[in-house]
Amino acid sequence: MEEVKINMPLLGDEFPHLKVQTTHGPMNIPGDLRGKWFVLFSHPADFTPVCTTEFVAFQKRFDEFEKLGCKLIGMSIDQVFSHIKWVQWIKAELDVEIKFPIVAANDSVAMKLGMLHPGKGTNTVRAVFIVDPESKVRLIMYYPQEVGRNMDEVVRAVKALQISDKQGAVAAGWPNNELIGDRIIVPPATNEEDAKKRSKEYECYDWWFCHKPLEK
């Protein structure tokens, strides 16, 4: 049996260059999006129940992503004609207008992103890539076909990445962490002198666990 080689970008890698057709016309990804955050997410197939609920959920949060300066892009290995018809169906039957482009990928594109998992069939799994303005992959999530995603977590992840770039690390469940709420974690001291100063400069549980207010 021929071995199937699966490629996938790793955190910190530049997002693979893709020349694709979408429901909004041809796109070069990430070239056309350089200087912007974007979320590219794949779905197994058009005209399927879980995927339909996901697309509606992403669209319901479209304005939140826009406020974050973050573009949404959908993707599956269905043809663009299928994408167009599905988007029309969602508008006609569910009264939701899908405003983001959907990529008509092929197996080659899907393999570049590690979206085809042989153990899960021939459709793309539910992948999410969050990419920063430098076209670097910052976060990756994979879900199986049978489990829909939580779009509030995708929104939270984009916000958290943007905040952490400017202010420091964020805690579990940020901005609603059980210990420190929305406060920002200060990097641990790396020498004894700084460790002694930490509790005087910040609120701390110990010198290695200090936090500061979120800058609004």
Provide the annotated active-site residues: 51
How many CB atoms within 10 Å of residue 72?
Answer: 22
Buried b (16+ CB within 10 A) or exposed e, 24-53: eeebebbeebeeebbbbbbbbbbeeebbbe
- 132, 37 contact by CB (below 8 A): yes
Short-list 14, 70, 72, CA closest to 43:
72
The 3-state DSSP class for residue 77 equals coil
Task: Identify whether the C-beta of residue 46 lies closer than 8 Å to the C-beta of residue 78.
Answer: yes
As given in the structure block, the two tokens for residue 111 are 């393999």
State the chain's maximal CA–CA distance in angstroms.
65
